Structure 1
């Protein structure tokens, strides 16, 4: 009986841990849209896949990040200002590639002006196994 309870406890703990995983393609895609919605462009840039390059110092990496933040802010402001921002969003589907390294999440966004748009958000796993936005070509 004691073994059964131990096994049951381990199973419940495993289920709880996997259901709370925020590192899924859908969770990362949702978080990226939430960052744009709130104007948190630094948070958005932190979600972008960046290949680790040796030889770059911290200042150079931070400068590149700030440049990307400014670019994203300008681009998002122009795109979403005309539509009164993002009112709500939801993930419609998630497709993970067979090798498990890339994914596409289809997101539906409702804008402040009532218009709707559906976009595919591409993601890939980084060297640490975390899902990141793939903004490459």
Structure 2
């Protein structure tokens, strides 16, 4: 298992839980971790979870990565116009983490997915969430 040098607290993607009593067993080759990490004591919310997961990915593969978790089908999408252009509206995910996006790129992505951010049509995130993602560069959408 790789080392994480940032002092972080583990949670599970599907639900927030206290840190485990013992460290996880080593991951088998090609496996992604099911736990993510965040700083602080409170539920970090989707933005901080997505950012924290980036800490885990930074020394591994760049771009998008899937987490093998039977409880939750998750796709991580990082900044990249090529990735945005290749994303198909028909693709279905339980949760999608959008990370490293500017407000303009976020709105372009929502448009590409035929979703609306805060008004009219299908509401996928509140105005506060949109402002938070603009500030923190990460958000979660339920599709």
Shorter-chain TM-score tier: under 0.3
Structure that is richer in helix per residue: 1
Structure that is richer in strand per residue: 1
Larger Rg over CA atoms: 1
